[in-house]
Amino acid sequence: MLTRKQLDLLEFIHSRVKRDGVPPSFDEMKEALGLRSKSGIHRLITGLEERGYIRRLAHRARAIEITKLPEALDKVETFVPRVIEGDKTDGPQPPANALPVETHVQTVPLMGRIAAGVPIEAISEVSHNVAVPGQMVGKGHHYALEVKGDSMIDAGINDGDIVVIREVTTADNGEIVVALVEDQEATLKRFRQQGSTIALEAANPAYETRLYRDDQVKVQGRLVGLIRHY
């Protein structure tokens, strides 16, 4: 049986993985649960792991896999009402706090590889299509890229992962984007702009932040999801 805090943390991790494709950071968990230190999060994570609800993957930053859900959360996730004639439903109604669940999948083009490290040549050709959950992509045009390199591991993005990108040309500070540098090289980095200077930040202390003039960088998309093969 889980404590209230353990259940809250498991629900928060699950919701963030669904929304972003990657688990939240320990700082985000601490803030969400209103704890003062990361040690409290470590204890909750250990408790969830000991009870078999999550699995931590060795040598991977922010790599937490949910292996099962408590019955209360699982019921919310698996309830799928069948809609007939507009807003009428057939069968039992969901609980008041239930979230809508999309069961369909969509295909997006896999455009090749993107550097999570030193920039590589710009992406331009479709390799093949990949299937992604419908709730991951939403509205707009999307594409997928295979990650090459380890510069974003502290953001939970590993070498070989597939990132799902929404096509946009602008980004807010702190968002992870596909950036085209000087119309020649594409890279996956965290975006920050101050005045006419754009910083492309890695999520790995082994890599330096690269600074460019704003006319040297074009945003080609924003990270909305991640697919990992084990």
Residues annotated as catalytic (active site), given as ranges:
151, 189
The structure tokens 């968002």 sit at 175
| 8 A C-beta contact, residue 135 and residue 188 | no
- Lookup: tokens for 144: 């997928």
- Residues in CB range of 223: below 8 A, 6 or more apart: 20, 21, 163, 164, 165, 175, 176, 177, 178, 188
| 8 A C-beta contact, residue 146 and residue 228 | no
- Closest alpha carbon to 114 in 185, 171, 184: 185
Query: What number of other Cβ atoms are within 10 A of residue 34's Cβ?
Result: 9
Greatest Cα pair distance in the chain: 58
